[in-house]
Amino acid sequence: MYNKTITQMKKIIPGLLLCIIVMFLGVKGADFFGILLIKFGVLAEGSGSPISGIFIAIIIGILIRNIVGVKDYFLYGIRFSLKHVLRIGIILLGLRLSLTEALKLGALGIPLIVICISAGLFITLYLTGKMKQSTRLGTLIACGTGICGVTAIMATSPVIKAKEDEISYAVANITIFGLTGMVLYPFIAHYFFATDPVKAGMFLGTAIHDTAQVTGSALIYDQMFRTDKVVDVATVTKLTRNLFIIIIIPFVSYLFYKGKDGEEERKDLPKWYTFIPLFVIGFLFCALLRTIGDMTIIHTGKAFGLVNGTQWSNIYNSISSFGTTYLLGIAMAGVGLSTNFAKFKGIGIKPFYIGFIAAVSVGIVSFILIAVFGSYVMV
């Protein structure tokens, strides 16, 4: 048993180390991009980069795979990163999300978010079927559009057994349209909602895909129009939207398996509990842990009766940042290193049309709902 474990570790280490190196290059690349945006006045001083290190790591990994090549002895560790490191990172992501944050939006704010999420999911899945595209790829784009961008794609991919090239394509799709929204939507929000920062913040938080992009967009709004409340509202809205990953992953997995007959011979649906993978349960556990810690601070002044608010904030921020920045970054480096550009030829341009239409549709639905009902939301 001991010798077998050592042998396994020796097989894992080369590919895992390569993923770690690519991940660090991605983190530094994202930081550099953020510095450039600040230097040219696009973002305010002290802002974080709107491009995640995860995306940069994927790009670097793809370039290495397709220009330099990856030797066979790296592949075992790369697959380990894609499977196990990814799941641990998603579990730790739960510490970023507190159920008490969602309550700040009140009885009307949450239904508005649910409708926006539903629009992103069903429009994308409908277009995928109409254009006769891969159900796996359509499901990934739907989750990325509806919930929380790259993170949702990565959380969904192992459940539906997505291929590496499909993951990379979906991430590129979401990143391109999310960045476009990040730049354009602050000006649209100000044009229509200049007198109501709650509406502006909710629009940015529901219409833009990725958490980093929402933050960047809100900071652009604050810098341009001096309304810092928009940043707070957009952040709360986005974090609340992220919480729905707990429900959406099992739901879209069920839809995926139920509708598989178009792509392959129909098989019996898996048992219902297989749509709730262990890492999603772990994610929920961490979110509940964060929520309980926050609530005990409110009532007793100390999280779990042990640490004060500042210490508790440092603890969950450090652990969740390790998971999202480093563990998910390692996994995404593995995605890039596993992606062969030659496979993209079989995917074509249609999924980008799907992503574009879905992104615009979510923005329109978000705008209409918030224009009509946003006045009743108090944050």
pLDDT for position 19: 94
Could you tell me the two tokens for 56? 């940069």
Identify the residue whose tokens are 């390692």: 330
As a whole number, mean pLDDT of residues 300-321 equals 90
Q: Is residue 5 one of the residues assigned to a domain? A: no
Cα 357 to the center of its chain, rounded Å: 19
- The C-alpha torsion from 69 through 75 and 77 to 79, rounded to 10°, is 110
pLDDT for position 248: 84
pLDDT digits (tens, 9 = 90+) for 13-70: 999 999 999 999 988 888 888 788 777 776 666 666 666 677 788 789 888 988 888 8
Prediction pTM value: 0.72
Could you tell me the two tokens for 184? 């354009």
Q: What is the mean pLDDT of the chain?
A: 82
Q: Is residue 302 one of the residues assigned to a domain? A: yes
Local confidence band at 2 (pLDDT 50, 70, 90 cut-offs)? low
Q: Is residue 249 one of the residues assigned to a domain? A: yes
pLDDT digits (tens, 9 = 90+) for 61-98: 888 988 888 888 898 899 898 788 888 887 887 887 77
Supply the range of the domain harboring residue 129: 10-376
| SS3 category, 303 | strand
Q: Evaluate if residue 272 carries a pLDDT over 60.
A: no
Q: Evaluate if residue 305 carries a pLDDT over 80.
A: yes
pLDDT for position 23: 92
Domain count, the chain: 1
Q: Is residue 1 one of the residues assigned to a domain? A: no
pLDDT for position 64: 92
Give, in degrees to the nearest 5, the angle at Cα 226 between 222 and 230: 45
Q: Is residue 3 one of the residues assigned to a domain? A: no
Local confidence band at 321 (pLDDT 50, 70, 90 cut-offs)? confident
Distance CA 98, CA 284 (A): 10
Q: Give the residue with greater pLDDT, 105 vs 77.
A: 77
> How far from each other are the two terminal CA atoms of the chain, in whole angstroms?
56
Q: Is residue 2 one of the residues assigned to a domain? A: no
Q: Is residue 97 one of the residues assigned to a domain? A: yes
- DSSP-derived secondary structure for 241-262: HHHTHHHHHHHHHHHHHHTGGG
Q: Evaluate if residue 231 carries a pLDDT over 50.
A: yes
